[in-house]
Amino acid sequence: MVRIGNGRLSAAINPFGAELSHLEDAGGLELMTDADPAFWTGRAPLLFPIVGRVHGDAIRVDGRDYPMPKHGIARRLLFEVAHAGDTEALFVLADSEETRVAYPFAFRLEVGFRLDGATLVTEVQIANPGELDLPVQFGFHPAFAWPLPYGRHRAEHRMLFEAEETPLLRGVTPDGFLTDPERPSPVQGRELKLADHLFEHDALVWDPVRSKRLCYGAPDGPQLDIAFDAPQLGVWTLPGARYVCVEPWHGHADPEGFAGEFRDKPGVFTVPPGGEWRTAMSVTLVV
């Protein structure tokens, strides 16, 4: 683990997947999932170069199929630790013979973690060093403790969105593919009251999401202010698990029935040759 801290927050990042594995407050209380294997051992995987699942677990590039597991390949690869300081760290993954088996493109993925007071900022850059357009998706998938470690019951926790959201959410098939917006949103006003039954049919998927931030926690306790700049948002857990994921996405799983080229898949964006693309997510502990 690469560890950073500043007296108000501390974080531990696993170079395998550049995955945020622990986020603790000044008293050492854990704000992330307990990763109970009875539910899910993930903590905060980075979703690259796809978000969700593709049909046949393969992407098609120029008529050829390449095997691509759910949420992509970055979460399963060792990143180079390019920098590790007291309060910040930088991880890098570049294309290789191993990555080109699944994703036949040149790329450089940089992920930086930085502590600033009570805020953890995660900054991502995707660069295209190749001579062809780079079709890609990217997503964050952090799992936060539910309940947060401040003595409030799970049923007291909610998410308060910055803006009023659309009344319908994307549906998710049993195989993990998306349907047209058809699922009534459980958000009342701007408030999502968390409950296990909301996740009996997989994630809640806002496409598009209007908010650029939300606040998570019990209204009368310490909370997490989560900011992002993504066009889609997933919120997910497994009923009974002690975590809830807040997932800003730039892209999403295959729509039900999609069978085209990867570059034509809804939600895929393009980084031009020699170009760069950036995104960020921040988490602030509000006491």
pLDDT in tens, 42-86: 999 999 999 999 999 999 999 999 999 999 999 999 999 999 999
Domain ranges of the chain: 2-286
- Whole-number pLDDT of residue 220: 92
Give 270's contacts (C-beta < 8 A, 6+ positions apart): 133, 134, 135, 136, 263
pLDDT recorded at residue 113:
98
**Residue 149 burial by Cβ neighbours in a 10 Å radius (0-12, 13-18, 19+):** middle
* Record: fold of 2-286: Beta-galactosidase; Chain A, domain 5 (2.70.98)
Residue 49: the pLDDT is 98
Is the full-model pTM beyond 0.95?
A: yes
pLDDT recorded at residue 51: 98
Are 15 and 91 within 8 A, CB to CB? Answer: yes
Segment 265-278 mean pLDDT: 98
Burial of 259 (0-12, 13-18, 19+ CB in 10 A): exposed
